[in-house]
Structure 1
């Protein structure tokens, strides 16, 4: 998992390093785009020094990266400035952000990275540096400002890198004036094309072009311009450019890109089959990236004509057919083949063993079946083998790995019918770095061959049938592991009192085992800790005060922990151990779950410093006291707040409504009192779909929502986006339900049951158009059920029992589907289907509590009205029964006016009854 979820910052840094490799590999002459630093002798030219100082004056430099620009008069010695030894002119300006101290801590990395970025305005004074041929401003942040048009005036420019620099808006077409340009990188900005991109073909010398994440959807001539790119191009990256066309409409196959070596068209959502002539005469092509599109069918046979192709990435498409047929269509020199996330079927073909050049083979997430053949061990150059999440069966033995001496990455996870059987003394020929055998059958003993794998970075053996205790040697072997996942097994015993020796560990997941004893001391490097669903006992150790300084995810739920949290987590002075660092501890936490323990104490004060917290679950414990009003201010990112089944008391702070991203609020089963303030039911994220904000919550983090009469388990933030819930049930809340609650248009679960709420059910509840579950039972609500509830078309669960509701149960639309009388039980004055009590006019008299003084007078009125109606009816109907011509004329007349009479009578009868009830 950790391998697949590296931060975008790390990816960008890797790309930065790879650029220099690409320059050499694709024969882009480095000497032509950079000039050696000036070694001495001539000083920089004065007007160019003044231009640089003017440039610096307009730049924002929070960490003083350009501090050397204040030292001396020789600008050729300033940081990032290179002059020509021959002329003394400034020819190179390299001001990229070179922050490299990434440590898998997203928030800290982002703070440090942003602190070293340059921003502000790019001053036109640079135009005085006429001989500039190299400009690199990558990995900075210019606040979505446009790329200055004057950059197109540097007629000697050969290298221009503006990647990931925070530029926005349209790309200036003046860049087309840089006719000597060899290298152009505009990737990872917020750029979009203008109405046309005809300036691109004018860069006739270009060899490297990266426009990753540049939005080309608005360019009316985009497809045509792509087909007219200069023939000199060797590297073309158009990843995630919103080209969004059928593949046949992108005429790269008719272009003259015969020198192209690397082509990246990933994330463009091309749809349809890959046409036979797509790549035309690109016979020099070595790398082809088509990942994350919508390609269907089998790959074309003409693909085998690309004899130099070494890397083919077709991952995350809908390529279908037999894997054997696909392999026949591949060129012979393939070294890296990525086909995961497609619809391939069949078993591995025997002649795959002859593709001995393969170094990376990823066939994961398909529908491949059968046994894994032992001849796969003949692919002696394999470094990465992934067959995860298919339907492989049978046994995989040491014969499969006999000659895989270079193997570093092995993933067989998600094949639940695959069993690994090797001898207890087997010594593998490889040294693995990444191991993922989750959901394979490995147990009951921990695999002894792992003892030889001392270079592991990732080890995942989740749900693999391992039982009993872990061998003592395991802890030595995994001392360099960054990602450890042994969850969902039956491992028991006691962990070592300290795991601090796992100094490289970034994530430890031991959830759903049978570990006992106390929570150990943990390594300071740790960012993710999941010890949930075990049998850990005792109190949370004092050492946790140090661990939460760096933790981002902490899950200790479903254990037997008890007592109060350490004082450092409850004190008003919850700061780091270093007195000079006043950053509150826990400031990097994003996910915390203490669910289902016996922890006690007031609401932990150290959460005040958790500004990035978006998931907090303290439910099913013994926390007490009032809910602090600072939650709404100090936890601005909170998306899920679960405090169910504790002993919290007092009022619900109206400041909770300031939590703009709150999707799930569960305060049920506490001792809360007071009214539900109208301002409290104004949660932005429950009001509009557009307010949803995406967060990363890993699959192993779950939360419960009691909805539709049952507890449902939600495991990922993706599922959280489908659930918006407000549960205030089983408290002592009083007063009326505010009309404003109807504004929570995206709310799916509302439970206010078992309180002391009074008044009518608000008509405004008809605005809860997303509602699926509504429980208002066991309150003191009165009045009629509002007909607006019939408009809730998604409502599938309703409970209004045990209130004081009265009148006819509304029928029609959604309410018609609820035929269970128990949902209205305990409301003695309700009538009509589905309960057995009829309403007035349905055959029995409805006893409305008409409280007025003239009761006898009203009875006489009803009797007189009934007799008068009967006599009048006979006078009219009687003659019609005996005179046919009269009856025909009469009914013809009635047919013509029946609609008007019906509407008139119904409306006036309703007004009449309403007036009686008011008296």
Structure 2
């Protein structure tokens, strides 16, 4: 107990010393920052307590952060409230949200983060707290409301942090009244209508200013204001502020910021060179950030005049030239150098060994070539080295690490011609924590020097040529690991029955090796597991029921798993061991792939509670039964649904159309029946490019799409998001192809082959503007091929074979590129190029079966009419020819009629002429 107390006291002393050092560095007097009393202080003032309660009443507090704020209690003991020991006045209000968002649990973490944020209105009742000198509302969410103007009335305020608090609109100029302010942080909000910042120079005492991500693109005189900033400033962060100026136009030549210690102007996209003499008067500068500015050319020689500069970030620019020349222009005390993502070339200089102050060196993602000089091993202060993604060659040996006793971060990945050769008994002088040697040559034997690296947190040796059995000592060595990636090797061995001893592990990726055995029990912390492309056998263990609650990504594809899923994953009755647990099992899962195993059973019910699921691949298994209609409602984030080559039957649920983000649907090679409902071809994400959902798919997850007559595998999220596919082939679907299918403007692959579809090919298919592959083969379609298919300018694969299509094959535009007759094979009534059958006449033929029926009816009508006329004529003329008395009577009758008509006409004409003459 005494030992623990001593340790606590030592920790407190260290923390106090660190605070004292920071305050001294930025010249902030200790008396200016309020300190929370630890008992024995005065009670708070009633007026100030009432003001805080009024503030609480207007605040939205879903997680009860302010639950300790109760009427009648001492407000000096409330959470976030600090009073002066001498006067009892409230001097500090710290209500920042300290919840952290992690990488792989993003959606769930966002919910928890939002749940813990304060929001609503900030009541002006706070003005009653006249002695307030510290106010922190950072990392909350005030719904894009404006920063209250009354904050400018806290005349004693010395510390103001409103960063990442969801404020919007403009910045009230009243903040310029805070003349005692030492620290101002407005970064990471939605401040996009900032017209004026001329109030900034009035903050004459300011030492720390962070306006990162404040949009200053329309701010009047923004460049001039920078030259008028207070000379007291020690820290200035204007990261991603849309300054909209060339670097040379910034008033950094004439600026009075001579006391500046830290400056970050990153991601303002100046797109210019760095002029000579810039920053020359800032001789106190120790940290300089110019990352992401599209700067071009070589750094100026005058950079070396910043003799106190020890941290320089020039990453993600277009700085080019010889790396050796750049190194000559650096200040002598440089300790941290980041040149990631530039265009630097040539070899690392041999005199790099003389830069003994270097603690961190990042030269990744350049075009460096040649060998790594062995002198790099003399940089005794080096703790982080990143040379990844270059064109380095040759051998790296133990000499390169000879004196690197402080090295903790080593990144050499993506240098495919770099080979690490060390003695099997070599014991490194360092204890690495982060190691990335992917795509380097480490094999064929497993590197034994790893055995001494017991502090490893991050280890990736993917695609590194290892073809060896995993040593037994390995799992004990990496007991602290959080990220492990040994994928794309030929590592063999039996997986342990349990990996629960890796209690900190978040991600384990062993895909594409030769591991065998069963699926091990997993640590409860694990979020990503990839065992795909191995020889894992047996069934999925019952233990998966508990472990699936923390998993976000699960890939067991391409193994030899068999049997049904555990009952807990197929029966809703077994979802929760504790009936009072309201957290649905599997609720964090976003990616699941069981592809290419021998799993069976009905569609797993536990997916019903996976509200964040966006990638589900059960293809090439033996699942059976109908597709549940709840997929469309309970899986709202689903973007990839692949159920190919199973035994699913029944109708395709029309509720799938509710999946707004679905842009890959593969139901091919099942026993699905019924018609294709019009709503099923109205997927939002296949209609417009902008409708793609927000989802995380890591590089190692693969997507198999059968398109253009072949199976294509996509790996990266970027490529996968460009794939839009609808494959319903090889089922028992009947009926017509819906006309509505033409609305899928972003669809790239459409396969309806191998069904029993009838009717015409819809002319609306001409609306599939992005279509690259179309397969309608092996159906019962009839009629002409619509000419609108010629408008599909991206179409590079077409298969209409084995239908009942007829008529001339349309020519022109895109269809002319398909000169292989097999595209149209099995349609006996088609004619014209590229098949050998010629079309008759002028090329116009009756190809529609219904039109052929109408043509036959018309011919019959004319034939019958001709026969009728002939028969009628013969009935009248025949008797007159063969009966003389009838002919005499007939002609006398005709003469009599003609005489009467003649007399009638003559009399009427005579009367008409007489009337005309009278007039």
Q: 1:483 to 1:759 in 2, by over 3 A?
A: same
Alpha-carbon shift at residue 155 of structure 1 (Å): 2.2
The match for 1:558 is 558
Alpha-carbon shift at residue 644 of structure 1 (Å): 0.8
Q: 1:597 to 1:272 in 2, by over 3 A?
A: same
Tell me if the contact between 1:163 and 1:189 (Cα under 8 Å) persists in the aligned partners.
Answer: yes
Tell me if the contact between 1:38 and 1:88 (Cα under 8 Å) persists in the aligned partners.
Answer: no
Render the CA deviation track for 1:568-617: whole Å, top value 9, x for unaligned. Answer: 11012242434431322111111100011010100000001111111111
Does the alignment pair 1:617 with 2:617? yes
2:859 to 829, 845, 855: 855
Larger mean CA deviation between 583-592 and 58-67 belongs to: 58-67
Alpha-carbon shift at residue 483 of structure 1 (Å): 0.8
Alpha-carbon shift at residue 854 of structure 1 (Å): 4.8
Tell me if the contact between 2:349 and 2:373 (Cα under 8 Å) persists in the aligned partners.
Answer: no
Larger mean CA deviation between 746-755 and 646-655 belongs to: 746-755
Aligned CA-pair RMSD: 2.3
Tell me if the contact between 2:194 and 2:215 (Cα under 8 Å) persists in the aligned partners.
Answer: no
The match for 2:8 is none
Q: How does 1:698-847 map to 2 (within 5 A)?
A: 698-842=698-842
The separation in 1 between residues aligned to 2:20 and 2:539, in whole angstroms, is 53
The match for 2:93 is 93
The match for 1:288 is 288
3-state SS of paired residue (2:655): helix
Does the alignment pair 1:308 with 2:318? no
- TM-score, normalization by structure 1: 0.88
Tell me if the contact between 2:41 and 2:88 (Cα under 8 Å) persists in the aligned partners.
Answer: no
The match for 1:215 is 215
Q: 1:20 to 1:810 in 2, by over 3 A?
A: farther
The separation in 2 between residues aligned to 1:636 and 1:860, in whole angstroms, is 65
Does the alignment pair 1:526 with 2:526? yes
Larger mean CA deviation between 245-254 and 179-188 belongs to: 245-254
Largest Rg, 1 or 2: 2
Q: How does 1:400-415 map to 2 (within 5 A)?
A: 400-415=400-415
The match for 1:112 is 112
Tell me if the contact between 1:405 and 1:430 (Cα under 8 Å) persists in the aligned partners.
Answer: yes
Q: How does 1:211-250 map to 2 (within 5 A)?
A: 211-250=211-250
Tell me if the contact between 1:38 and 1:84 (Cα under 8 Å) persists in the aligned partners.
Answer: no
The separation in 1 between residues aligned to 2:21 and 2:716, in whole angstroms, is 38
The match for 1:262 is 262
Larger mean CA deviation between 810-819 and 774-783 belongs to: 810-819
Larger mean CA deviation between 436-445 and 274-283 belongs to: 274-283
3-state SS of paired residue (1:399): helix
The match for 1:649 is 649
The separation in 2 between residues aligned to 1:693 and 1:300, in whole angstroms, is 44
Q: 1:249 to 1:781 in 2, by over 3 A?
A: farther
Tell me if the contact between 2:806 and 2:847 (Cα under 8 Å) persists in the aligned partners.
Answer: no
Q: 1:844 to 1:140 in 2, by over 3 A?
A: closer
Structure 1: runs of 5+ lacking an equivalent: 1-16, 862-919
The separation in 2 between residues aligned to 1:438 and 1:101, in whole angstroms, is 27
3-state SS of paired residue (1:191): coil
Render the CA deviation track for 1:767-824: whole Å, top value 9, x for unaligned. Answer: 2212121111221222222222222222222222222222332222322332222222
Tell me if the contact between 1:575 and 1:582 (Cα under 8 Å) persists in the aligned partners.
Answer: no
3-state SS of paired residue (1:170): coil
The match for 1:568 is 568
Structure 2: runs of 5+ lacking an equivalent: 1-16, 866-919
Tell me if the contact between 1:574 and 1:606 (Cα under 8 Å) persists in the aligned partners.
Answer: no
3-state SS of paired residue (1:464): coil
The separation in 1 between residues aligned to 2:225 and 2:838, in whole angstroms, is 75
Tell me if the contact between 2:637 and 2:693 (Cα under 8 Å) persists in the aligned partners.
Answer: no
Q: 1:242 to 1:847 in 2, by over 3 A?
A: closer
The match for 2:599 is 599
Alpha-carbon shift at residue 858 of structure 1 (Å): 7.1
The match for 2:469 is 469
Render the CA deviation track for 1:152-187: whole Å, top value 9, x for unaligned. Answer: 222222111011222223322332232322111112
The match for 2:505 is 505
The separation in 1 between residues aligned to 2:18 and 2:592, in whole angstroms, is 37
Q: 1:454 to 1:830 in 2, by over 3 A?
A: same
The separation in 1 between residues aligned to 2:469 and 2:600, in whole angstroms, is 31
The match for 1:636 is 636
The separation in 2 between residues aligned to 1:639 and 1:102, in whole angstroms, is 23
Q: 1:759 to 1:103 in 2, by over 3 A?
A: closer
Tell me if the contact between 1:405 and 1:429 (Cα under 8 Å) persists in the aligned partners.
Answer: yes
Alpha-carbon shift at residue 146 of structure 1 (Å): 2.1
The separation in 1 between residues aligned to 2:832 and 2:696, in whole angstroms, is 49
Alpha-carbon shift at residue 93 of structure 1 (Å): 0.8
The separation in 2 between residues aligned to 1:717 and 1:844, in whole angstroms, is 50
The separation in 2 between residues aligned to 1:19 and 1:185, in whole angstroms, is 19
Render the CA deviation track for 1:290-327: whole Å, top value 9, x for unaligned. Answer: 22231221111111111111111111222111100110
The separation in 1 between residues aligned to 2:244 and 2:705, in whole angstroms, is 39
Q: How does 1:478-517 map to 2 (within 5 A)?
A: 478-517=478-517
The separation in 2 between residues aligned to 1:270 and 1:455, in whole angstroms, is 42
Q: 1:819 to 1:104 in 2, by over 3 A?
A: closer
Alpha-carbon shift at residue 94 of structure 1 (Å): 0.8
The separation in 1 between residues aligned to 2:30 and 2:577, in whole angstroms, is 49
3-state SS of paired residue (2:807): strand
The separation in 1 between residues aligned to 2:528 and 2:860, in whole angstroms, is 78
Alpha-carbon shift at residue 35 of structure 1 (Å): 5.1
The match for 1:659 is 659
Render the CA deviation track for 1:622-666: whole Å, top value 9, x for unaligned. Answer: 111111111111111111111111111111111111111112111
3-state SS of paired residue (2:632): helix
The separation in 1 between residues aligned to 2:574 and 2:624, in whole angstroms, is 20
The match for 2:5 is none
Q: 1:459 to 1:845 in 2, by over 3 A?
A: closer
Alpha-carbon shift at residue 567 of structure 1 (Å): 0.6
Q: 1:742 to 1:23 in 2, by over 3 A?
A: farther
